[in-house]
Amino acid sequence: MNVDELAELAQTYRDEEATFRHEVRVCMAASCQSSGAGPVYDALAGAHGAQGGACKVKGVGCMGLCSAGPLVAVAERGADVAGSVLYRDVKPDDAADIMGSVGGVPVERLRCPTDQPFFARQQRVVLENSGIIDPDSFRGYVAAGGYAALVKALGELTPAQVVQEVIASGLRGRGGGGYPTGLKWSTVSKMTDPTKYVVCNADEGDPGAFMDRAVLESDPHRVLEGMAIAAYAIGASKGYVYVRAEYPLAVERLATAIRKAKRSGFLGSKVAETQFAFEVEIRLGAGAFVCGEETALMASIEGLRGQPRPRPPYPAEYGLWGHPTLINNVETFANIAPIIRNGGAWFASIGTARSKGTKVFALAGTIANTGLIEVPMGTTLRDIVEVIGGGVPGGKACKAVQTGGPSGGCVPEQHLDIPVDYDSLKTLGTMMGSGGMIVMDEASDMVDVARYFMEFCMTESCGKCVPCRAGTQQMHGLLDRIARSKGTARDLALLEELCEVVQATSLCGLGQTAPNPVLSTLRYFRGEYERKLAAGD
């Protein structure tokens, strides 16, 4: 199949829908489903059946503003979320009103303005189809331009050219580390071992992060397309997606996507009628945070306890079952298709000098608009929190923003003007992480926050290396004493010393970064620790 044939196929799929001018889109991602989107969808479909009319009711992926769910959008075919009439907190009883308004006067009492910064300020690359296409529909993805990048790569580019395009894009790993993706691909592609693997890390373990889940639930084919392009570029014929078992809906939609892609010839022994073969299998996690670490993840795919091993050798040389393995995060793979479609230079024109493209963030905590956003790299944290996120509700002041989960740290209010990219966050003692942002207001107790994250690392430590296994226990004990106002100045000094030791000597990222929340709260909120110290030595 060549690019023109695929374009023709996409046009056929679009023509099939041309009888409808409008679509009524119901968000069927996990968050809106928890708010009752299922019954809303049924009611809308029922009302549609009763009224007839030239529109189509369809379930779509995440539209972003999770706190206002269930969300329903009435849009002309092809319009994006910001260009539609959006309704919030929809109940099944509203179905008749909404169906009656299609193509006419909107139902004002339910409206959620889409000209507010939350929608207007976003730039969607990874989420371009999210909230627009039906995630379970292969045709929907192709009609929206899906698999064009894969067909282009297979038909018009050599594997080396694909790698070159990714290098030119400047894309860096979206799982948190920020390692240049093109460089990783290039390393694996140079390995001479005939057996290689592509692994997608969907073990999104950071509490407060749900970007990868949303991508898998809203646009699963995009991840498969990215993986297939990667496999072609590095010379692999087998891929694994390692997903958390806690995300059943994401697993289900991904499984459907794999099945449909296979049936349509975009996965399997002759991908898009070429000699390129690529199979994808899902592997379920079983609730271990450490499995987000790449060597632990591979151990888990091999059916072992998810314990990391020292690197080097890196997975690029010695990965799954000893073969060269390319591991990238969900969001990284989701960026690949647009890069191949529009060129690396296009991607590199978005973002900052050293961090290219856009980033998806999950906004949560005490903030008006909780949900999912995608903004260009370099957007300031203040813009994200106060403008896009709508600030802290109830007129309270924002105290800090926590990024990077248990491996990251807190950015205090006075530093919110920092542009968000990999490097600037590091200078503040935190990290990009996978994209979770928790906003804390003045009521938050920072010592308690540090204790919370340390408890997390303590229970999630795999136990293999001593600094992490014993160190997190001891640090948690000290933090607990201080939080209960039972600690002394000596405890605080010991805590700081332990932080340094655990950071320097742990085997993997979990232990090395476990002290970060403590160090960062100590750096900006030391007074809170000191006020809690008991009298004594």
Write out the residues near other proteins by the rule CB under 8 A: 30-31, 33-35, 66-67, 69, 204-210, 213, 245-247, 283-289, 300-306, 362, 364-366, 370-372, 402, 405, 436, 438, 440, 444, 452-453, 456, 460, 462
Cα within 13 Å of Cα(181), Cβ side? 34
Give CA–CA dist 175/351, Å, rounded. Answer: 17
Shortest distance, position 154 Cβ to other proteins, whole Å = 29
Shortest distance, position 51 Cβ to other proteins, whole Å = 31
* Residue with smaller CB distance to other proteins, 161 or 485: 485
Shortest distance, position 364 Cβ to other proteins, whole Å = 4
* Residue with smaller CB distance to other proteins, 357 or 406: 406
* Residue with smaller CB distance to other proteins, 345 or 397: 397
Tokens of 510: 């979990």
* Residue with smaller CB distance to other proteins, 234 or 362: 362
Shortest distance, position 25 Cβ to other proteins, whole Å = 18
Query: CA triplet 239, 240, 245: central angle to 5 degrees?
Result: 165
Instruction: Determine what percent of the chain falls in helix, strand and coil, rounding each to the nearest 5.
Output: 50, 15, 35
Shortest distance, position 303 Cβ to other proteins, whole Å = 4
Shortest distance, position 371 Cβ to other proteins, whole Å = 5
Contact 217, 447 (CB under 8 A): no
* Residue with smaller CB distance to other proteins, 162 or 363: 363
Give CA–CA dist 171/345, Å, rounded. Answer: 11
What does the CA dihedral 443, 446, 450, 453 come to, rounded to 10 degrees? 30
Residue 371 has phi, psi (to 5 degrees) of: 150, -155
Tokens of 140: 């929907």
- CA 517 to chain CA centroid, nearest Å: 21
* Residue with smaller CB distance to other proteins, 151 or 410: 410
- CA 169 to chain CA centroid, nearest Å: 19
* Residue with smaller CB distance to other proteins, 67 or 264: 67
Shortest distance, position 328 Cβ to other proteins, whole Å = 20
For residue 427, give every residue at least 6 positions away whose Cβ sits within 8 Å of its Cβ, in sequence order, or none: none
Give SS3 for 279.
strand
Cα within 13 Å of Cα(38), Cβ side? 4
Shortest distance, position 422 Cβ to other proteins, whole Å = 21
* Residue with smaller CB distance to other proteins, 292 or 487: 292
Number of H helices, E strands in the chain: 22, 13
Question: How are beta strands 238-243 and 197-202 bridged, if at all?
Answer: parallel
What does the CA dihedral 261, 264, 265, 267 come to, rounded to 10 degrees? 10
Give CA–CA dist 201/328, Å, rounded. Answer: 6
Question: What is the residue type of 180?
Answer: P
* Residue with smaller CB distance to other proteins, 217 or 225: 217
Helix (H), strand (E) at residue 85: strand 85-87
Q: What length is written for the chain?
A: 537
Distances (CA, A) of 336 to 227, 282, 340, 385, 413: 8, 20, 6, 28, 35
* Residue with smaller CB distance to other proteins, 211 or 340: 211
* Residue with smaller CB distance to other proteins, 208 or 467: 208
Shortest distance, position 473 Cβ to other proteins, whole Å = 18
Shortest distance, position 511 Cβ to other proteins, whole Å = 17
Question: How are beta strands 279-284 and 238-243 bridged, if at all?
Answer: parallel
* Residue with smaller CB distance to other proteins, 150 or 301: 301
Residue with token string 């300020």: 121
Shortest distance, position 66 Cβ to other proteins, whole Å = 3
- CA 371 to chain CA centroid, nearest Å: 12
Shortest distance, position 191 Cβ to other proteins, whole Å = 22
